[in-house]
């Protein structure tokens, strides 16, 4: 009989050899250029106070939800919150999931059936890939943001067809031509699903509300662990979709519901989002400033992005790791993104900008990168 330990060691060694071995980094005091806390909600003491007030004033006494939503974990508070979130995001209905991973897994694994088709952008998030894998539907990918590529796949689609994109891509930070992708999706009678994980916050309630496409998009996924600074996610769609997910989405059905503290955090973060014009402007200013200051991007290109996610392409695991380590040594928390997480030749450092980063922070960051990369 083969030994499990031997297999584990062999796989870990393979990772070490190709330079993609993962470790959990300890907490540090470096300047944050890697978290998803774009607007600073996670570190906001004002938000923390509001969450505590909400818990106390609503007599939210349960520490845990006590069970799944279909057994004992469904409270009036939860259903009211779903209605408030749906209203905020201009959707007929919404269903909360414990995380964005769970939301995508539940939606993509339960809705498309054998004989149906799922078409995703090649850079789609792992949670969507995993959901699609569990679905038994036919799966295709198209070249990143490529309308003709999508159309070619739509022509081959069978059964009900779902096209899945992100409105801001998590690894590249860029946005797709959503209206054109939607037009072509509709031309073939397919349904567009948009993951707004990284768009909510920068664009307040996301790009779909900004473009007023709510009625044309079949479903949206909004996560609360990024710009909203807490945890959890909602699938937005019509009432029929909500009922379907309650009946068939296994990552919704077979898990303990979110604790009340999580729900109160989501509620208060959504209220704060309404009043966050100042933070959104500060974030936007920092994005513009960063791009102006990063002169070394002439040598090492930045991926074209208007979002807080800015990537410098270094094109090898070695260079990406070396650059990230150099930045960390200079007090900057920047992480390398290596292959196979991204395609070989597109290894990079991924910088996440925030509303709370100061001009000094940005100067230190860009000067350090400029000096290193010019030196080559
Ligand atoms: C595009 C996208 N969708 C979904 C998720 C998963 O969300 P969560 O972190 O809430 O599980 C992520 C997080 O990495 C993401 O980037």
What would the pLDDT profile of 183-203 be if each residue is shown by its tens digit? 999 999 999 999 999 999 999
Going by alpha carbons, the residue nearest to atom 9 of ligand 1 is 100
Residue 341: per-residue pLDDT: 83
pLDDT of residue 1: 67
Which range among 14-18, 221-225, 257-261 shows the weakest confidence by mean pLDDT? 14-18
Please state, for a pLDDT cut of 70, what percent of the chain lies above it: 98
- In a domain, residue 314? The reply is yes
Mean pLDDT of 239-259: 98
Average pLDDT over residues 33-55: 97
Same domain, 241 and 170: yes
Q: Tell the residue nearest (CA) to atom 7 of ligand 1.
A: 100
Q: Choose the final residue of a domain: 239, 256, 274.
A: 274
Q: What is the pLDDT of residues 195-242, one digit of tens each?
A: 999 999 999 999 999 999 999 999 999 999 999 999 999 999 999 999
| 259 and 141 co-located in one domain | yes
Residue 154 in this model has a pLDDT that exceeds 90: yes
Query: Is 211 in the same domain as 314?
Result: no
Looking at per-residue pLDDT, the higher value among 211 and 274 belongs to 211
pLDDT at 134: 98
Q: Show which of 232, 247, 274 is a domain's final residue.
A: 274
What's the mean per-residue pLDDT of the chain?
Answer: 95
Look at residue 209 and tell me if it is in a domain.
Answer: yes
- Could you write out the three-class secondary structure of the chain? CCCHHHHHHHHHHHHHHHCCCCCCCCCCCCEECCCCCCCCCCCCHHHHHHHHHHHHHCCCCCCCCCCCCCCCCCCHHHHHHHHHHHHHCCCCEEEEECCHHHHHHHHHHHCCCCCCEEEEECCCCHHHHHHHHCCCCEEEEECCCCHHHHHHHHHHCCCCEEEEEECCCCCCCCCCCHHHHHHHHHHCCCEEEEECCCCCECCECCHHHHCCCCCCCCEEEEECCCCCCCCCEEEEECHHHHHHHHHHCHHHHCCCCCCHHHHHHHHHHHHHHHCCHHHHHHHHHHHHHHHHHCHHHHCCCECCCCCCEEEEECCCHHHHHHHHHHHHHCCEECEEECCCCCCCCCCEEEEECCCCCCHHHHHHHHHHHHHHHHHC
Q: What is the pLDDT of residue 315?
A: 83
From ligand 1's centre to the CA of 100, what distance in Å?
A: 5
pLDDT per residue as tens digits for the range 80-125 = 999 999 999 999 999 999 999 999 999 999 999 999 999 999 999 9
Name the residue with higher pLDDT: 298 or 39: 39
Q: Which of 252, 274, 296 is the last residue of a domain?
A: 274
Residue 11 lies in a domain: no
Ligand 1 binding site (Cβ under 6 Å of any ligand atom): 99-101, 104, 125, 127, 166, 170, 195, 197, 223, 225, 233
- The answer as to whether 5 is a domain residue is no
**pLDDT bucket at 317, cuts 50 / 70 / 90:** confident
pLDDT of residue 283: 97
User: In the prediction, which pLDDT does 298 show?
Assistant: 64
Distance in Å, CA 269 to ligand 1 centroid: 17
> Same structural domain for residues 243 and 322?
no
**If you measure from the C-alpha of residue 130 to the centroid of ligand 1, how many angstroms do you get, rounded to a whole number?**
12
Out of 196, 221, 225, mutate this one to test ligand 1's pocket (max ligand atoms within 8 Å of CB): namely: 225
Ligand 1 midpoint to CA 229 (Å): 13
Residue 36 maps to which CATH number?
Answer: 3.90.1150.10
Position 376 pLDDT exceeds 90? no
């Amino acid at each position: 009989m083969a030994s499990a330990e031997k297999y584990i060691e062999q796989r870990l060694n393979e990772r070490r050899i190709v330079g993609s071995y993962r470790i959990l980094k300890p907490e540090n005091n470096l300047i944050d250029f890697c978290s998803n806390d774009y607007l600073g909600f996670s570190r906001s003491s004002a938000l923390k106070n509001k969450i505590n007030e909400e818990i106390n004033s609503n007599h939210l006494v349960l520490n845990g939800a006590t069970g799944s939503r279909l057994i004992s974990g469904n409270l009036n508070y939860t259903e009211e919150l779903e209605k408030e979130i749906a209203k905020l995001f201009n959707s007929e209905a919404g269903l909360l999931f414990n995380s964005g991973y769970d939301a995508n897994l539940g939606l993509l694994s339960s809705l498309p059936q054998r004989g149906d088709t799922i078409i995703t952008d090649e850079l789609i998030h792992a949670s969507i890939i995993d959901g699609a894998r569990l679905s038994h539907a036919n799966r295709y990918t198209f070249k990143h943001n490529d309308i003709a590529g999508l159309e070619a796949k739509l022509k081959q689609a069978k059964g009900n067809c779902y096209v899945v994109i992100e409105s801001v891509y998590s690894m590249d930070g860029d946005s797709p031509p959503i209206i054109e992708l939607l037009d072509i999706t509709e031309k073939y009678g397919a349904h567009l699903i948009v993951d707004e994980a990284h768009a909510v916050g920068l664009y307040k309630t996301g790009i779909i509300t900004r473009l007023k496409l709510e009625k044309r998009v079949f479903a949206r996924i909004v996560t609360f662990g990024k710009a909203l600074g807490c945890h959890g996610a909602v699938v937005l769609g019509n009432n029929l979709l909500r009922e379907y997910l309650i009946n068939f989405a296994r990552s919704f059905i077979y898990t303990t519901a979110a604790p009340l503290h999580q729900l109160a955090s989501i509620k208060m973060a959504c209220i704060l989002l309404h009043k966050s014009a100042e933070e959104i402007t500060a974030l936007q200013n920092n994005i513009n400033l960063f791009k102006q200051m990063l002169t070394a991007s002439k040598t090492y290109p930045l991926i074209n992005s208007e979002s807080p996610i800015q990537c410098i392409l270094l094109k090898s695991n070695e260079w990406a790791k070396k650059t990230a380590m150099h930045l960390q040594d200079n007090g900057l928390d920047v992480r390398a993104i290596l292959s196979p997480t991204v395609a070989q030749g597109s290894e990079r450092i991924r910088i996440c900008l925030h509303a709370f980063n100061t001009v000094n922070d940005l100067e230190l960051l860009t000067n350090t990168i400029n000096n290193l990369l010019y030196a080559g």
